[in-house]
Structure 1
């Protein structure tokens, strides 16, 4: 892995103080490379797949360079992603088979307008959109190794599986006339449980004396319908991420990511990014992971198919089972919407939705010539944020998506796993990812999240209400960069945040 350290080009900053800060950062790291100057290409982070934000930003817009003859298929997939699925059986057999237990009725019910889901602000509002991942964690190293080498990548809770479904097709649930435990007593298939979040606040004090309030979630599960969870089950709150630009991320060369990986920290810079190793059900082989909070999916096929199965309860060729477990007989007894091939979503329709998701464009940059943004860009490099949030790649040529190939893109991610320290750890391994490792999220479009759908909530569990809070939660491999950010003066911190907001 090439060590990423930089010298400052003085022309990038109009403030001598910022120049001196960068010199201090560089001197402390002993590096000899230069911070690259701004490029015109940065204004179009998706290359030819960059979308306009006029009249307002959306993250579910078609990439502008999608060939005209392919647009009908894109909009057919978009309709499937938007449509609410319904209980089987009905005459609308192209969209029945919901559940019997699920988290949402449709793809974009969680990824609102292509953006993030919304975390509740209080302990009385149940989760909807965000979800709960769970699995059994044992002290037995051999058992955990076997789990990582299984096609699931985890040991599911024996009763509730590896994802909590908080909705069900039961009429009593739809009308909210009973708790899940009462529904089970009435022989109606219940949601597995209801999930709530209690927020706990704590203060972060900067060296200059100013402070920021940080919050962290405490999960509150109520009315578990099938009894207790396994005593070794670990839970992880997950806020649904934005879905734009994923087709471009899929075309980043594997060799580029391998070149960035440094699992043994051979260069001694404290950053040891590595790739997960995950199962691909379509090709029936093990592949590097690059999607999902823990990089537990290798490609868009697996991302979309697993969401249909686990989030909506729609069986498909890659995930043919319903989310019911053997300990949930009421769930297993419900009618399904299977076709003659035994699937609720046949492969041609699954591919339509995957094609739609692949072809979501990336919003254009804003305020790129603003002096504060330019100074913030310098600081983003100088403080080491780019070590994990790698700015740019050129996508590989593609025979299936040629318009997305050979594009210079600016996602600001290495798609690698990094240990983020105990404060962000969920204690839940996933394939080869440890309980404290998380994939570096792309930053393109991050400054638009509030304008897209009101969800300005960052990190895997939505705890951060601003980019500043998200930075201050960084630990582990990112602790040094966080400390350099904290050591900045108030104006410099503001400028760095203005740069990230412009992405």
Structure 2
């Protein structure tokens, strides 16, 4: 497909027929690449409904479909405090952020940013003390642990409250169009177990959970091949892997989940969320999340040892492993193709990488040898001071974040009825998320701000097709 633009002498643009043949200039439209809509090969799903993130990958056996359904139920169920007649789902808390996995990942999608005075709809605040080594896990805060539990069971005090206000930041594109960003300013109040005035903090919003099994099936080599820690190719991009502690193998391994790539396996990511977000014990994290001196929390009855059984944990793991990625939409539209070309030209593709291939994966062989297009290298990148949380997490420093996969990006509004993006939901849409980029992405962001309004819309059309 080609787009014909007729250019005449003195740079005057005329309609077809106004110039001689020698004056005609053809500007090619980027070609559609066969199959580019299939982000996970033949294991994607065609859906643009509000349930687009909730489908299983195709061709599961009847038994596997039953496991998926059970995991789905556990993911969506609300846990209750112990003791309760519903012993299969008691043990919530005593302090917590959410009652169900789906509270933070509604319909397997994204959580919402904090609103002062409301329960956290997918928002939480990490806290820690400075560590002495860049390879160490975050150091828990005495009396609080590694995150603020802002809710609690009756008679148990919650740990603290988090409030937010917003500062307006204005800017102007090269073509004179103005824009506004909102910078969140967080305040921790009502501390029950000591002051948190000087601790490291990091606000987080729950991510969508599609495609996690494909990330599990990637060999380390497919992540590490994108590393360029010292920017040897001089392109300004210096991604590096995080190496984090695996609770099962008891050693440091490549991190691939979480905003800081601080979880090495999907199982550990899920067990950690049960423990930190809902106060539920598992065989991986068997101790109640009640840091001293939370005596009321420590004395509260539990819902079993562990409260989430290994069978329940495995069902949620299977469910999360088999959630499908929606295939792309509108891939042959001219604006989308032009936007793809601009996305690549601005070097966004250097971090939001594609074409990784899964390897041997005994847990679910159906995910083996699949070429995926997650639009992420799963590496840590310096995103600049404006997005810095100044809290280290193993090798991740306070300016670094794992590249967020972009698959499903254009369906978040349909599934979750909002378009809040970035680690704390500060960006109200895709355009604002781009404008917050800095550090290694500063040059790409600057190129975006120098585009025409039509070109900016083409980039957004491409991103919404993912």
Structure 2 residue aligned with 1:39: 33
Q: Is the 8 A contact 1:12 1:374 kept in 2?
A: no
Alpha-carbon displacement from aligned partner over 1:33-88 (angstroms, at most 9, x marks no partner): xx995323221212222122155443122112323331111111111111111111
1:502 aligns with 2:455: no
Structure 2 residue aligned with 1:223: 190
Q: Is the 8 A contact 1:391 1:411 kept in 2?
A: yes
* TM-aligned CA distance change 1:13 to 1:258, over 3 Å: farther
Q: Is the 8 A contact 2:222 2:357 kept in 1?
A: no
What does residue range 87-236 of structure 1 map to in structure 2 within 5 Å?
Answer: 87-120=81-114, 123-137=116-130, 143-145=131-133, 148-149=135-136, 153-170=137-154, 188-229=155-196, 231-236=197-202
How far does residue 394 in structure 1 lie from its aligned partner after superposition?
2.0
Structure 2 residue aligned with 1:437: 400
Give the one of 216, 219, 222 matched to 1:253: 219
Structure 2 residue aligned with 1:374: 337
Range moving further from structure 2, 433-442 or 35-44: 35-44
* TM-score (norm: length of structure 1): 0.85
Q: Is the 8 A contact 2:217 2:359 kept in 1?
A: yes
Q: Distance in 1 between matches of 2:83 and 2:135?
A: 37
Structure 1 residue aligned with 2:452: 489
* TM-score (norm: length of structure 2): 0.92
- Root-mean-square deviation (CA, aligned residues, Å) is 1.9
How far does residue 14 in structure 1 lie from its aligned partner after superposition?
6.4
Q: Distance in 1 between matches of 2:193 and 2:252?
A: 34
1:364 aligns with 2:327: yes
How far does residue 13 in structure 1 lie from its aligned partner after superposition?
6.5
1:323 aligns with 2:281: no
Structure 2 residue aligned with 1:26: none
Structure 1 residue aligned with 2:359: 396
Alpha-carbon displacement from aligned partner over 1:140-177 (angstroms, at most 9, x marks no partner): xxx420x733xxx111111211111011011xxxxxxx
Give the one of 437, 440, 443 matched to 1:477: 440
Structure 1 residue aligned with 2:17: none
Q: Distance in 1 between matches of 2:443 and 2:6?
A: 24
Structure 2 residue aligned with 1:30: none
Alpha-carbon displacement from aligned partner over 1:283-312 (angstroms, at most 9, x marks no partner): 222110011000000110111000000001
- Unpaired runs of 5+ residues, structure 2, are 8-28
Q: Which runs of 4+ in 1 moved over 6 A?
A: 12-17
Q: Distance in 1 between matches of 2:59 and 2:214?
A: 13
Q: Is the 8 A contact 1:13 1:374 kept in 2?
A: no
Structure 1 residue aligned with 2:12: none
Alpha-carbon displacement from aligned partner over 1:439-460 (angstroms, at most 9, x marks no partner): 0000000011111011311110
Structure 2 residue aligned with 1:344: 307
Q: Distance in 1 between matches of 2:75 and 2:447?
A: 42
Q: Distance in 2 between matches of 1:14 and 1:324?
A: 68
Q: Distance in 2 between matches of 1:303 and 1:14?
A: 52
- Unpaired runs of 5+ residues, structure 1, are 1-10, 18-34, 138-142, 171-187
* TM-aligned CA distance change 1:134 to 1:12, over 3 Å: farther
How far does residue 16 in structure 1 lie from its aligned partner after superposition?
9.3
Give the one of 54, 70, 75 matched to 1:76: 70
Give the one of 59, 63, 66 matched to 1:65: 59
* TM-aligned CA distance change 1:452 to 1:79, over 3 Å: same
What does residue range 289-304 of structure 1 map to in structure 2 within 5 Å?
Answer: 289-304=255-270
Structure 1 residue aligned with 2:346: 383
Alpha-carbon displacement from aligned partner over 1:374-393 (angstroms, at most 9, x marks no partner): 10011011111001000222
Q: Distance in 2 between matches of 1:16 and 1:94?
A: 71
Structure 2 residue aligned with 1:414: 377
Structure 1 residue aligned with 2:245: 279
Q: Distance in 1 between matches of 2:465 and 2:365?
A: 28
Structure 1 residue aligned with 2:10: none
Give the one of 442, 446, 452 matched to 2:409: 446
Q: Distance in 1 between matches of 2:443 and 2:291?
A: 44
* TM-aligned CA distance change 1:73 to 1:207, over 3 Å: same
